[in-house]
Chains A and B, each alone.
Chain A
Amino acid sequence: MMRHLISAADLTRDDAVLILDTAEEMARVADRPIKKLPALRGRTVVNLFFEDSTRTRISFEAAEKRLSADVINFAAKGSSVSKGESLKDTAQTLEAMGVDAVVIRHGASGAPYRLATSGWIDASVINAGDGTHQHPTQALLDAFTMRRRLVGRDAGLGQDLAGKNVTIVGDILHSRVARSNVDLLHTLGAEVTLVAPPTLVPVGVEHWPCEVSYDLDRVLPKSDAVMMLRVQRERMNAAFFPTEREYSRRYGLDGDRMAKMPEHAIVMHPGPMVRGMEITAEVADSDRCTVVEQVANGVSIRMAVLYLLLGGNEPAVTHTRTEEK
């Protein structure tokens, strides 16, 4: 692969499985009295967040600290950026401080790519969500959650998600989570179906490696995992659907709809959930809903990504996996 993680589409199947397997070992550290590993001792990681985010930033920070990295948090609000500094100057400032990796969240699609390829910095760049483009670690943690629940913790090691049916429901248009998931799940062999009102399906979706449906009730009975997305009001500048009630009635997941899913199927949500809109409290609080698990898995996945990109003298995530011993 590369020194950076910009898009879930850049990952090969073997890269992705290596990350999931590594995350499985990282997850076991959480059960120890000392939740700390020395892998990134002496490495400096900057969390560069131009957009508000609670769970992603905290999750990255926890992952970095568990691997003993030195962590610098940089939020755009109240920083030099609010005084008019450009991305380039911010990046060069960080470079001058000698950072080894930049975890970046930016409102503009493509900002992490620009940072990684412009030659402004030598550090590894990890995309923590850019505009409506990509959020690769979210896709990885979702795949990890699915593999654990649908294949098994130990049985899943070395395995992908071949043959699993995943349905992603909601605001596909504005969702970087959906884009990343479609790319990664396709790489891992799963069949993805997107379900949304026609106005919330992006142009060009016919070129994506997935199916599109407008009828949630028809898709549910053959889904192994159903991922509900939040309707991103902050990105809505047009009337995409008549009323929230109508949206919720046609595309929201309630107890009756959940009953149509196969017995083993799980309900996922990248958070934050809007109860009563895309998901009812009954579903959100049920055993089949993996929201809290996804948060815990997020830390393990980010530890795995950080370790594989920064833990050695060069990134491990390549096509030629080095198998020693």
Chain B
Amino acid sequence: MDSQDSGVARPVLEGPDIARVLTRIAHEIVERAKGAEDVVLLGIPTRGVFLGQRLAAKLEEITGRKIPVGSLDITMYRDDLRMHPPRALARTDIPGDGIDGRLVVLVDDVLFSGRTIRAALDALNDIGRPRAVQLAVLVDRGHRELPIRADYVGKNLPTSLRETVKVQLAEEDGRDAVLLGAKPTAPAGER
């Protein structure tokens, strides 16, 4: 966590909460997808990828089958691409059998404006034609700017725009937590 807001950031979910939430989402996916036979999980870098992998592991426990999991980089599909210097690209890794005719579940850490998900839908369009696309997020903090909603939500977290939501995962940050903090004076943008 950055030094500037570490003083005020307070955890709203801790490690065990996140594990429970992911277990619940996994069960919901199995229930909604009637066995998750054709599910493909695609995490959105960076932290969505780790959440996707964790969800896949839980789904495998429940169904006893291997669940294809990959990552979908949305950098070049962002609507603010032209407003910043080019960003370093992350990995797009589509599981071997592709996504045609399958149920793609996008996985991300925080759902905020919805612009990331719009970009992800565009990116999917260039890769194949899924039977359906669903969205799983760890935290929904509101403030949508596009008509997008999540199918599976770990925690609904009503926030003000002056607050920041930061997800930490062991794979990237060394520990699991969702932190709610106050935004430093200048708005830092989405996520």
A-to-B contact residues, CB < 8 Å: 18, 21-22, 25-26, 28, 32-34, 36-39, 307-308, 311-316, 318, 321-325
Contacts and interface: CB of A to CB of B under 8 A. Distances in A.
A18 B45 CA distance: 18
Nearest to B75: A39
Contacts of A26: 89
A25 B90 contact: yes
A313 B128 CA distance: 30
A322 B90 CA distance: 14
Contacts of A36: 126
B126 A34 contact: yes
Contacts, number: 65
Interface string B93-110: 010000000000000000
A63 B149 CA distance: 36
A38 B122 contact: yes
A11 to B, nearest CB: 16
A37 B87 CA distance: 15
A311 B89 CA distance: 11
Interface in B143-159: none
A22 B85 contact: no
Given A25-B92, A37-B76, A314 B126 contact: no
A33 B88 contact: no
A313 B127 contact: no
Interface residues of B, number: 23
A38 B86 contact: no
B91 A311 contact: no
B88 A34 contact: no
24 contacts: A18-B88, A21-B88, A21-B89, A22-B89, A25-B89, A25-B90, A26-B89, A32-B94, A32-B126, A33-B127, A33-B128, A34-B126, A36-B126, A38-B76, A38-B77, A38-B122, A39-B81, A311-B86, A312-B85, A313-B83, A316-B85, A316-B86, A323-B88, A324-B84
A325 B87 CA distance: 10
Q: Taking each of A313, A314, A318, A321, which has the highest tally of chain B beta carbons within 10 Å of its own beta carbon?
A: A313
Given A28-B92, A324-B87, A325-B46, A312 B81 contact: yes
